[in-house]
Every structure is written in C-alpha cells, then in structure tokens.
A and B are shown apart, each in its own frame.
Chain A
Amino acid sequence: MTAAVKSDFLATLLAGRPPADGGDAMSRLRARAIERAGALTVPNTRDEDWRFTDISPLTKLSLHPIATATALGATDIQPFLLADAPCRLVFVDGIYAPQLSTPASGAVSVSSLFAAQSSPLVAAQLGRLAAFEHNAFTALNTSFVSDGACVLLSRGAEAPQTVHLLFIATRNDVACHPRCLVVAGAGSRATVIEDYVALNDGAALTNAVGEFALEDDAQLTHIRVQRESAAAFHIGHTAVSLARGSRYHGVNVSFGARLSRYNLEVVQTAEGGECEIGGLALVDGNRHADTHTTIDHTMPHGVSRQSHKCIVGGSAHAVFNGRIVVRKGAQQTNSAQSSRNLLLSDRARVDTKPQLEIFADDVKCAHGATVGQLESDEVFYLQSRGLSDAVARSLLTFAFGAEILRSIPSAELRRRLEQLVLAQTERT
C-alpha cells in the first residue's frame, strides 16, 4: 500500500527525534507536534495542494537523522560567507556551529534558539505562526525543534548589520530540520538572509521552517536563498505575521535541489500591514521547483505586491501557486501579483496559478500570469550589436532573473546569485 509506505517514511524520520518529556516550552511544543505528525501522512498528488509535485522520489529514500555533527573549519565555509553580512549564525546539517558563528546580544539579539529559549518571546512565538495541524513536514520539523536560529529585535532596535543565517548541508542520506524564529519588536528594522547551501552532492532532505513575527511598524527584509545541491530535496515553510503598519520585504530564491517545495504564508493581522515579495525559481535538467504562497489580508488598508518568476530549462518543471485572500473586513486592500515564466526548452514545463479569494467589496486587486520564451526581437537586437545567439539568450535570461535579484540588499550575495543564473543559463 502506498499510504503505508508513506507513513513508514514519516515514522522512520520521527524515530530520531529528541525526547519530548521535559516541562519546558520547547518540549511541550515537540510533544504536540509529535502527536500530530503521527496522525498525518505525507502528501501525494491527489492532494490539491500537491497536484503538480510528486514527492515519491523523496519518500522512497531511506534517510537517517543526524547523530553527530560534521566538524567544519573556517576555510570550509569561506565560499559562503558574505563580507557585507558579518553577523552570522552557522548551522551544519541543522546543528548549530558556535565556533563558526558571530552571535550578537542586546537590543538586536542574534543567537541559537537553544540559547534564547528562556526568553518569554521565544516561549510565546515559537510554533505560533507555522501551523502544523495539516502540514506533515512542518509537524515533522516541529517534532525536532530543540535548536535553530533566533533573531530578537527589541522595540525600536535597528540591526546595524545584515544578519546571515547560513545552513550548510554536508552529508548525503540524512534528514535535517532547520528552524528560524525572528521577532521584530515595534518599530524595529533588520535585514535577515536565510541561506541554504551545500557541500555535499547527493540526496538529502532539508525540511526547514521559519517564523517571522513583525510587531507594529516593524520593517523586515528577509532574503531566503536555497542553493543546495542538484540532488537535494528541500521543503521550506515560512510564516509571516504583519502587525499594524509593519512592512515585510521578502525575496525567495530557489536555485538548487532535485525537488523543492517552498510554502510562504503571510498574514496581515492589523490595519495597514504591507508586504512586497519577489520570487525566483531557476530549474534545469529534470529538476522540480514548487512555490506556494498565501497572502492573507484580514484587516483594512493592507498592501501587497508580489512578483514571482520561474526560469525553466531542459525537461524541468516549475510550479507557482499564488493565493491572495482578502477577508470581509479587509476593505481598501491594495494587492498586485504577477507571475512571469520563461521556458528555455520545448520540454520545460510550468504550472502557474494565481488564486484570488476576495470577500471585501472595496479593494484593488490585480494579477497576471505569463508563460513564454525569449522574444525573437530582443534576441535580434542583441545580435545586431555583435552578440552571438547563445550569448544574447543567456543575457536576456539573466536579465529576466536579475529583475528579482536586484532588490537583494547584500551586493555580495546578489553578485553570487547573478553568477549562478549566468552559469546555469549558459549551460541550457
């Protein structure tokens, strides 16, 4: 039976979880998640939410939990460091590596979740936004929650440096469950880069969950980059809550992984919350990238801007599902969403679905989706300036993606991602 196999997959992964019998908040959270995970099965393509993404290549794998941490030195991680984001937490296969990290304390606290667990903020916020009742992977992640990255901004605090949360995968055939918690106090400001990279080149599962709570008037820029190996499996879930007048600027980039699925959920919980979201998925070969986003306007005067792009080469497959909900009370919502997709080969495939659910009557919502190839007029323009057909196509493909990347505040990260786009488009 397929269902049995899938339950086995979850049960096997759950077997390695830490104990959940302590009296502390994290233990209690784990206990709830374990109970829930035991009742859930992994999704399949009969679930509407997973229609286009078949995870059976993942559930067929036999993955182990991490028993011991891989010891990495400064030179191992050097290629991933960003000089313009010196405040850094490093996790190796999900395990915190204090010797590679540069935590901060005070009004801008950047530390491991374990170190911050006595904070009432952590007890109050952890597990609050990333709902796991109906999400097997989030339940699984939460069953393991004992450490992770934690950024706490006091009221009015302004992070002087970009925070770099670096998650390095080093081992094949393992499953790890990274966790992030960011609480941006009223009026605070910060830029956080959540960066998934790899030193391994085989199959492994990264099942990451991040929670971002923005209190009144907080401004947070969150750059999420998934650049793991082309054989990796990456499941990501980000949950964001926007209080009154707060502003979330998110950019999610999905370049790596054999199969990736990213769920982004933004809830505007009070008047005037704003979000601006850029997304870029780049897949080639027979890889698969799925992005599901929900922006939920529950209160009046919310603003959301979303632009998602997919560049699909080879016989790869990209999926975008962008759900915008405008609840009954959310009058004067202003929302715009665009999904633009570039197919680089005849075998490439994209499924894009804007999904508007509007229950208020005085709102402005625009959305659009395009799927296309490079325009021959554009290619010709560049050729007429001496560039070869291949260079012209690669430059135009690069430009298509660069439009999303250019809002990334770290120049160094932006440059590296641009190089990845160029390298990949030149191969196609």
Chain B
Amino acid sequence: MIRQDSKTLLEVRGLRATVNGIEILKGMDLTVKSGEVHAIMGPNGSGKSTFAKVLAGHPAYVVTGGTVLFEGKDLFALAPEERARAGLFLGFQYPIEIPGVANAQFLRLAYNTVQTQRGKDELDPLEFDDFVREKMKLLEMNPDFLDRSVNEGFSGGEKKRNEILQMALLEPRVAILDETDSGLDIDALRIVAGGVNQLANKDNAIVLVTHYQRLLNYIEPDYVHVTEAGRIIKTGPKALALELESRGYDWVSAEHGAGAAV
C-alpha cells in the first residue's frame, strides 16, 4: 500500500550489468518504499530475472554501472550473505535441491544466522521446531517437509512454498520473488499468494517478478513496471497489468519507441 509516512527501502539508479560479457541490464531505475508491492513484468529476456539476481548478488553477473541503495546503504558493498542479513530476500525461480541436508536443519541454520546478526537470540532445535511449524501453517505445509532433504523431490508448488516459508522466517525488509508463480497450479498459487499477503506489512516491501498477470489477481501491486531490453520502459497502476494481459507487450514497446523518438 502506498503511504505518506513510508521509508525508501530500495533505490536503484541506472543499473547496468553483464553476464559472460553480454550486457543484460542497461540502466534500470526503481524506487521501492515501505508498505509497497511492486510487480516487474516483461517479455522473456527483458532482464527482469537478471535484475532480481543482481540485487541478491549472484556471482555470475557483473555490475558495470549505476547505484543501488538499500535503506540508504550501498548494496554492492555487501556480500550476498550480508545482503540477506540486512533484510534483502530473493525467492528463487528454481530453488536448489540439497540432498543430505534436512530442511529443518537448513531453515534453523539460516534463521539463527540472520537472528544473530540482528542481535537476537538463537533458537535451539526444539524451540525452532515449534516456531517453524507455526509458520508452516501459513502456507498449509505438511510438517513432514521438515524432515526431508532441502527441496529434494519437492514438487514445483512445494518448492515455492518452501521459499515463502524461508521468507516468513527471515522477515526481510525487501522480498524479491522471482517467478514465484511459475509451475504452480491454481490451488498452490492461492496458498503461496495468501502466504505472501500475510507477510506483507507497512514496514516491508515486496517486488514480484512475473511474466503473467495471474499472480496479481492474488497479490495486488501498487505499481506495475514493464521491462524491455534491460530497462523499465513503463510504470503504471495495477490496471496496467490487466491491459498487458489483454493486449500483450508490443504496444508498450511501440509507445516507448514513439516517445523516445519525440
């Protein structure tokens, strides 16, 4: 929700980045304030997933220009784990499977690491078990998922729920959810979106990276941004997503091209 007394959490200016020497981001600009939900939409290859990964610090991407301030601090001065501890969260499009590590062990390790950095107490396995089970209810997750290896053999929907569970545990200031809706059936989508909605509050912000409008029926964005060729070329209200759904992306591109020519 857009508020008067909000704080700027993320400020991206002219961000450029390359992968394997090829420039993917060519001047991204975005300002995210507390309480807001942003949707970044765009055709495949327009740079929206790259944007999410660059913010989280994926090693394959090289930042070649621009600045990003996270709560006023230079984001790129922080290692990926420091960004996470500072409150930046990336929900992965393809969560990694880690056979051999119990989900509960992984979740507790991540939770305690972040808690310690924030000057709070760690939870022992029993305390954590109670705590995580409570959070799992939010996502209608079976507690059996605690004993299984991290994401191993999870269905697409189960993996995404596990991502949102991690978001619930780590309580980020800014959560970037990369294609969280991909591979979800309608029930799973409803549950995952319901979880995200319950986690959204006036002090944090959500950035949804998505190809389809479908997710936005469940999580209502305050702003919709359209990316093309590594830049945001149009920003509008929620209605823009509906328009994209019915008309596709070409008209935005054409409008942008015409505007640029003037």
Contact = CB atoms under 8 A, between A and B. Distances in A.
Contacts of B106: 382, 385, 395
B96 A386 contact: no
Interface string B82-123: 011100011010011011110000100110011001000000
B81 A386 contact: yes
B164 to A, nearest CB: 13
A385 B163 CA distance: 10
A385 B84 contact: yes
Given A378-B98, A396-B98, A387 B109 contact: yes
A395 B84 contact: no
B109 A395 contact: yes
B117 A402 contact: no
Nearest to A396: B98
B110 A401 contact: no
Contact of B100 (A377, A387, A391, A402): A402
A403 interface: yes
Contacts of B57: 380, 383-384
Given A398-B101, A399-B99, A400-B100, A383 B81 contact: yes
A384 B114 CA distance: 11
B56 A384 contact: yes
A5 B59 CA distance: 54
A39 B184 CA distance: 70
Interface string B150-185: 000000000000000010001000000000000000
Given A399-B101, A403-B99, A384 B79 contact: no
B110 A386 contact: yes
A388 B100 contact: no
Interface string A359-392: 0000000000000000011111111111111011
B80 interface: yes
Contacts of B60: 376
Nearest to A377: B96
A152 B92 CA distance: 54
A67 B90 CA distance: 65
B100 A399 contact: yes
A95 B95 CA distance: 53
A384 B80 contact: yes
Contacts of B92: 381, 384
B100 A378 contact: no
Contact of B84 (A378, A383, A399): A383
B58 interface: yes
A406 interface: yes
Contacts of A396: 98
Among B57, B96, B99, residue most surrounded by chain A Cβ atoms (within 10 Å)? B96
A389 B57 CA distance: 12
Contacts of B58: 380
Given A376-B60, A380-B57, A380-B59, A385 B98 contact: no
Nearest to B96: A381
B80 A380 contact: yes
Interface residues of A, number: 25
Given A376-B59, A376-B60, A395-B109, A383 B79 contact: yes
Nearest to A406: B100
Contacts of A386: 81, 84-85, 110, 113-114, 117, 170
B118 to A, nearest CB: 10
Interface in A247-280: none
Contacts of B90: 384
A383 B109 CA distance: 11
A401 B113 CA distance: 23
Given A378-B98, A381-B92, A389 B109 contact: no
A387 B90 CA distance: 14
Contacts of A402: 100-101
Given A380-B58, A380-B80, A385 B100 contact: no
Nearest to B166: A385
Nearest to B112: A386
A378 B96 contact: yes
A19 to B, nearest CB: 50
Contacts of A384: 56-57, 80-81, 83-84, 89-90, 92
Contacts of B84: 383-386
Nearest to B114: A386
A383 B80 contact: yes
A395 B114 CA distance: 16
A327 B85 CA distance: 59
Contacts of B101: 395, 398-399, 402
Contacts of A395: 98, 101, 106, 109
Nearest to A392: B81
A377 B53 CA distance: 11
A263 to B, nearest CB: 27
A390 to B, nearest CB: 10
A398 B114 contact: no
Given A381-B92, A386-B85, A387-B113, A398 B100 contact: yes
A156 B222 CA distance: 71
Among B59, B81, B92, B110, residue most surrounded by chain A Cβ atoms (within 10 Å)? B81
A399 B98 contact: yes
The 4 closest A-B pairs by CB, nearest first: A399-B100, A402-B100, A385-B110, A383-B80
Given A391-B109, A395-B98, 14 more contacts: A376-B59, A376-B60, A381-B92, A381-B96, A383-B79, A383-B80, A384-B89, A386-B81, A386-B85, A386-B110, A388-B113, A389-B81, A395-B109, A399-B98
20 contacts: A377-B96, A380-B57, A380-B59, A382-B106, A383-B79, A383-B80, A383-B84, A385-B106, A385-B166, A386-B110, A386-B113, A386-B114, A386-B117, A387-B109, A391-B109, A395-B98, A396-B98, A399-B149, A401-B100, A402-B100
